[in-house]
Amino acid sequence: MEAKSKKAGASRLCFLCNLRRPVLKRPKTLQQICRECFYEVFEEEIHQVIVQNRLFKSGERVAIGASGGKDSTVLAYVLSELNRRHNYGLDLFLLSIDEGITGYRDDSLETVKRNEVQYGLPLQIVSYKDLYGWTMDEIVKMIGLKNNCTFCGVFRRQALDRGAALLKVDKLVTGHNADDIAETVLLNILRGDIARLSRCTSITTGEDGPIPRCKPFKYTYTYAYFKKLDYFSTECIYSPNAYRGFAREFIKDLERIRPRAILDIIKSGEDFRIATTTKMPEQGTCERCGYISSQKWCKACVLLEGLNRGLPKMGIGRPRGVNSDHNKETKKPGSVAKSIESKQCGSLDF
């Protein structure tokens, strides 16, 4: 009986150090480990991902996409710590996007400003208002809560590239973790988006675009590590009905049944192969602003044109139709001048 009791007690100790009580069970290994061992293992795994995938070269300027949320806050801390510990030789910067969401972004930007001081990283803030002439508060007033995430996602992606260009960095790193990648795989399957599905699991994307993007957290979960930094994270007030949210709930339900479900979904995305007969969209540049696009106008320009013309739903769900509408309208007298006078998406050239 005493031997069984000792064995039971030992099984409740950390799998790695066998000294402290475990506080979590890792989905990828099913090991129950203590908080201290988790922090150590987490940092080492990120280091190995960086080294094995050759994400950086010494002397490179790297921008960290910093929203003030848990993922980007962990990314800023861990990357700055690993850069110092392993002598990567990187010049790191914080890059934040101010979407203009009262009660959300203004609070999270305060977290980023604290990161700037604590980690000694220069901060660059780029706003939707400066780039596009609109804030998300103004956009939501016009379009409502439905579909507003379409505007925010498209504008933010381009704003990050424009901010990175402003900083003259070689690479941009984001805090997308295993949950995010799995959600994206599922969303692209549901949408039938073959082009994005074929590249969404890549640890580095955009190598043929303005600035490569790296995702060192691709195989990891950041929530438990976030507790180490003692920060409070808030959710966007406009995102409760976001399509991604439903995918997130579905994946979390799967994870309760099968802890490795998220990593399995990512593996499925990695193994996905496109038939050689499949016609893929050809990437070019937007005729209006010079940003990468497979259409005559990039999605940001299409959405912005709709906003400026008082037709905010014009570019939603119809990636080709708006350019056709634009072509039709250019045949009308005076419409060319009106189109030229519309504000382009972004004030930085590519």
Q: CA–CA separation, 206 vs 213, rounded Å?
A: 6
**The dihedral formed by the CA atoms of 338, 341, 347 and 350, expressed in degrees to the nearest 10:** 60
65 is in an annotated binding site: yes
91 is in an annotated binding site: no
290 is in an annotated binding site: no
* pLDDT number for residue 104: 86
67 is in an annotated binding site: yes
97 is in an annotated binding site: yes
Q: Are the C-beta atoms of residues 319 and 326 closer than 8 Å to each other?
A: no
**The dihedral formed by the CA atoms of 217, 221, 225 and 230, expressed in degrees to the nearest 10:** 100
Express each pLDDT in 268-296 by its tens digit. Answer: 989 888 777 777 778 888 898 888 888 89
To the nearest whole number, what is the mean pLDDT of the chain?
Answer: 83
Positions of E strands within 196-287: 204-205, 213-214, 284-285
Q: Enter the tokens of residue 167.
A: 């900083």
Categorize the per-residue pLDDT at 333 as very low, low, confident or very high, splitting at 50, 70 and 90: very low
Positions of E strands within 180-334: 204-205, 213-214, 284-285, 292-293
Residue 336 has pLDDT above 90, yes or no: no
Categorize the per-residue pLDDT at 194 as very low, low, confident or very high, splitting at 50, 70 and 90: confident
8 is in an annotated binding site: no
Q: Which residues have CB under 8 Å from 88's CB, separation 6+? A: 50, 56, 58, 82
Query: Residue 91: which of 47, 55, 60, 120 has the closest Cα?
Result: 60
Residue 239 half-sphere exposure, CB side, CA atoms within 13 Å? 15
66 is in an annotated binding site: yes
The secondary structure of the chain in percent helix, strand, coil, rounded to multiples of 5, reads: 50, 10, 40
The distance of Cα 3 from the centroid of its chain, to the nearest Å, equals 51
